[in-house]
Amino acid sequence: MTAAPATIADTPAGVPTARQVRTHLRKARSRHHDHSLGDVLGDAYVMVLFVGMYGWFAISASRDLLDSPTVGRAEPGVRWWLAVSALLAGAGLAWRGLRALGPLLVTPATQSWATSAPIDRRAWLAPRFVLLMLGAAAGTAALGVAVAALGGVTDLSALGWAAAAGAGWGAAALALSVVAQSSRSGRRWPTVVGAVPMVAAAVITALVVLVGRLGDGLSRPATTPTVALFAAAVPLAGVGMVLAVRALPRVDRATLTTGAPFANAAPP
């Protein structure tokens, strides 16, 4: 039988807590930090430029596609369902990206200092998990607004619901990916979760083509179901966060370093 994960109460006397180790590492990094304020601002500028450039490219490319003669002559329902298909395919690819990154990860230095130490793994990883949840929710909220705006939505309340739905599904995906990271190898549900949106995207695209050839094409729904998507995301995100917090002690050292090469490739 597998032994239960160690907690603070189970650790021997004199073993530092996760907070103490985190504080010690932060002080050690500050003593060896030789970057000037200009270096930090330069790195921040590069990151903002990178995100802005590729973000604007994605938005501009989407607008050009929607305004192109081929797509522009298509029925509104066809355009709407193709957008849904593209969004589902993007969700499947994003899940694969989360699984490839971890999403919880540590650098080799942190691996040597902390992941081998007998500290409470949940207390050590909880701040990273919270930051990732906030980042995922904010990013997918912005994505939801962008997709709704590209679809022609201008009402502020509708854009707000799109942001809420995006944030809910982003938080749910991040939480479930942490649960998947803690799962034992051989379990199939993480693969199934990633395959479902990809298969749904392929089915929708095939239906759009088939119905377009046999009839007048699929009709667009009267309203965008952002409220329903938000209502479905809230319980899923809640359950996912509870399961993820309970699974943090089971995230082992090997999976924590899966995405370390990506972290090392990022600007210092």
Do 62 and 187 lie in one domain? The reply is no
pLDDT tens digits, residue range 24-83?
A: 666 666 665 555 556 556 656 666 666 666 666 666 666 665 565 555 555 667 777 877
Residue 11 in any domain: the answer is: no
Do 86 and 116 lie in one domain? The reply is yes
Q: Could you tell me which of 197, 203, 174 has the C-alpha nearest to residue 87? A: 197
Do 88 and 176 lie in one domain? The reply is yes
Do 243 and 138 lie in one domain? The reply is yes
178, exposed or middle or buried, with CB in 10 Å at 0-12, 13-18, 19+? buried
Do 158 and 67 lie in one domain? The reply is no
Instruction: State the total domains in the chain.
Output: 2
pLDDT tens digits, residue range 200-237?
A: 999 988 888 888 777 666 777 777 788 898 999 999 99
Residue 255 in any domain: the answer is: yes
Do 85 and 170 lie in one domain? The reply is yes
Do 42 and 114 lie in one domain? The reply is no
Which of 26, 46, 73 is where one domain is finished?
73
Residue 226 in any domain: the answer is: yes
Residue 43 sits in which domain range? 35-73
Do 216 and 86 lie in one domain? The reply is yes
Which of 73, 95, 127 is where one domain is finished?
73
Which of 21, 49, 73 is where one domain is finished?
73
Residue 2 in any domain: the answer is: no
Q: What is the pLDDT of residue 1?
A: 43
pLDDT tens digits, residue range 185-210?
A: 667 888 898 899 999 999 988 888 88
Do 61 and 141 lie in one domain? The reply is no
Do 114 and 247 lie in one domain? The reply is yes
Q: What is the pLDDT of residue 93?
A: 86
Mean pLDDT taken over the chain: 75
Q: What is the pLDDT of residue 45?
A: 65
From 137-146, 147-156, 215-224, the region with the lowest mean pLDDT: 215-224
pTM for the model stands at 0.71
Q: What is the pLDDT of residue 172?
A: 93
Do 91 and 114 lie in one domain? The reply is yes
